[in-house]
Amino acid sequence: MTDRPRRLKWAPPETPPPKRPYRDTAVFYAVLSLVIVAVAWVTGGAIMRAIAIAVGFFLIATAWSFWQWRERLRRSAAEDAARRSPSEEARP
């Protein structure tokens, strides 16, 4: 009899999405963009270049996060539909 050691599969618990994931994401990245500009201003850096970088960062990060949220919400809806039994769906 060969006893293989069990492998522990550990992952952080799945947290429910916030009530307004898209808005929260946009606000978060807007604040980070302002931090980029503020750091450039405080350190005496090129403000216009920092603004351009901050805008690019905001657009790319927000688009990526929106896509990830859409995929996560779509996956969650598909899992919920798969868990429902056919008799539950037939009820009025």
Number of domains in the chain: 1
Residue 85 within a domain: no
Q: What average pLDDT does range 68-92 have in this prediction?
A: 75
Establish if 36 belongs to a structural domain: yes
Cβ neighbours, 10 Å, residue 33 = 21
Q: Does residue 45 fall inside a structural domain?
A: yes
Decide if 73 is inside a domain: yes
Q: Which of 69 and 35 is assigned the larger pLDDT?
A: 35
Contact 69/22 with Cβ under 8 angstroms? Answer: yes
Is residue 13 one of the residues assigned to a domain?
Answer: no
Tell me how long the chain is: 92
Q: Is residue 9 part of a domain?
A: no
Q: Residue 31: give the domain boundaries.
A: 21-78
**C-alpha dist (Å) from residue 66 to 20, 73, 79:** 11, 10, 20
In a domain, 34, yes or no: yes
State pLDDT tens for residues 54-74.
999 999 999 999 999 899 888
User: Looking at residues 81-87, what average pLDDT do you find?
Assistant: 70
